[in-house]
Structures are given as structure tokens and as C-alpha cells.
Amino acid sequence: MHARQISYFLAVVEHGGFGRAAAALQIAQPSLSQSVRTLERDMGADLFRRAPHGVVLTAAGRALLGPARQLMRDLAAARDAVGGTSGPSAIDIVACRPLGTYPGAALVASFATQHPDVRVRLDRADLDDRLAALVRDGSCELGLTYLPNPRMDLATIELGVHELMLAFPPDDAPPPGRVPLAALAGTSLIGAHRGSRARALVESELRNAGVRTRVVVEASQRDMAIDLVAAGVAATFVVDATEAATRARGLEVRPVDPPLRMPFGLIHRHRPLSDAAKAFVAHAQEYAHGPAAEQA
């Protein structure tokens, strides 16, 4: 097997079709198809099936994705180790919401600006198990998630802490200051999806406080939740990092008592990171502990 077959396979996945991948790789489409067919024969399974706009992965193709990316990273490291040229590198990160945007967006934007030769992909997985699985099978080299991650077989780098705050419609906000959880008794809330760290923390703290609330809409897309609060549907919890953005959309934000804190950080497998990943980790630590942290 030639590494090119693997990189072509990854290109078809990334571009969602043979035509687009061939154009991006600047090769003829028939040679790309031929190469992927050879890989499929080698693997003994079809890797793609046709879809309305291009192709999608089969189950076998999905299973190959993680190991294939890991193989390309290790190959680059091997080339690097012997002083060869490894070409442009890529880093795959998977984050849950809202970490993919806060601090993900600012983190990735500043990193990409400083490392124009590194291609960054920021994937999303909202359940801890799913996120850890993508890191463990090599699909993503780094995971940006709330800590502690329940899977103990992954290494952890702590970056910061999010505090949950309540966002209210402007005409329905309590006076400034911490809102006691008890004050939420009997109210309606817009909640994050079940299985998210924020939902679990809010539910357990409300239970501890003996407070019952009603979730009237469940939506993890934060900007949808903000729109719904603005429309007067109910209040919602947001992380403190989004406070400025939430206020900019016209809402009032209040901290709660007791404070609801969620530490977050990066997770990765216990094995040497690629140069790109090492650079990203260093960048994230500098970002988290440097002066830029306040602007997150």
C-alpha cells in the first residue's frame, strides 16, 4: 500500500467528492478514482457510497478515518525524524459546545494566523463518550472538553474554568447581583441537551437546592437559545465567556449562587503529539494563562 492512497482517501472525505478532491489535489479524477479503488480492494470493503452531492463514507470508510489520519500524522513525524520534508501539516481538534466557540474560535483563529502552514479542522461532539472515542481512535488528535473527562486513559491539560450564568430577557431580569438558585423554583428554562456537562451540573445543583424548574426548550446551539430568550420564551444558562456576546444580543446576564464552575482543557492519547499539536497545546496554554485570557 502506498501512503498516497491514504492521503487521497482523506482528501475525498474532506472535499466530499471525487471531482472536488481531484481539483484540490490538482490531479486527474480517473487517477484519483483508480487509487481509491485500489485502496478499497486492499481493505476488502467499499469506503464510499454515492449521495446527492458527492459521496459519503460507508461504515467501513468511517472506521478507516481515524486510523488513516493517525497514520498520516505518524508518517509526517517519521519523515521529520529523519530530516525529510513533511509538507504542510494538519491538526484535528474535537470540541463540545460551547467550548468549540468559547474559547475555540479565538484560540483557533490566533493559532491559524500564527501558523499559516497548519490546516486546522475543528470537529464537534457533544457527548463526553463520543468526544473521547474520536480522540482515542485517532480521528482527532486533541479534544477540547470539560474536565475531568470520565475516560482515564487519556492525558489531560487544564486550560481554564467556565462559570455558568443566567441570561434573562431584558424586561424580565432580576436586580443585579448573584441570583440564588432557590429563586428559580417553578420557573421555565431553556436547557442544554441531556448528557452535556452544563445540563448535568445545573440539574444536580438544582436538586441539591431542592428547586424544581421546567425545561421548555432543549437546544445546545447557543445562538438559538439566545434568540429564544430574546423572544421571551424563558431564561437560559450560558457560560461566563459568552457574557459580552450575550449582552450584545440585548440580554441581561446574572451570576448565580452558589457559583456553578466547570473546568475545561485539552485531552489527548498517551503518545507523542505531532509538531502541529504540540504547537497548538503551547499556544492554548499561553492563551489561557496570558493576557488574552481576559478577552475570551
Residues 6 or more apart whose Cβ sits within 8 Å of residue 150:
128, 129, 132
Shortest CB 101 distance to another protein, Å: 4
Residue 199 within binding range of another protein, rule CB under 8 A? no
Of 248, 261, 271, 278, the residue at the interface with another protein (CB under 8 A) is 248
Query: What sign does the dihedral 60-93-123-125 (CA atoms) show?
Result: positive
Coil, strand, or helix at residue 23?
Answer: helix
Shortest CB 290 distance to another protein, Å: 16
Of 66, 100, 138, 265, the residue at the interface with another protein (CB under 8 A) is 100
Smallest Cα–Cα separation from 255: which of 187, 183, 186?
183
Coil, strand, or helix at residue 206?
Answer: helix
Burial class (CB in 10 A: 0-12, 13-18, 19+), 16: middle
Cα angle for residues 292, 107, 218 (degrees, 5° grid): 110
Of 20, 151, 178, 269, the residue at the interface with another protein (CB under 8 A) is 20
- Residues touching another protein: how many (CB under 8 A)? 54
Contact stretch for another protein (CB under 8 A) within 32-40, 159-167, 232-240, 254-262 = 232-240
Residue 140 within binding range of another protein, rule CB under 8 A? no
Interface ranges with another protein (CB under 8 A): 13-17, 20, 23-24, 51-54, 56, 95, 97-98, 100-101, 104-106, 108-110, 112-113, 116, 119-124, 126, 188, 193, 214-224, 227-228, 231-234, 248
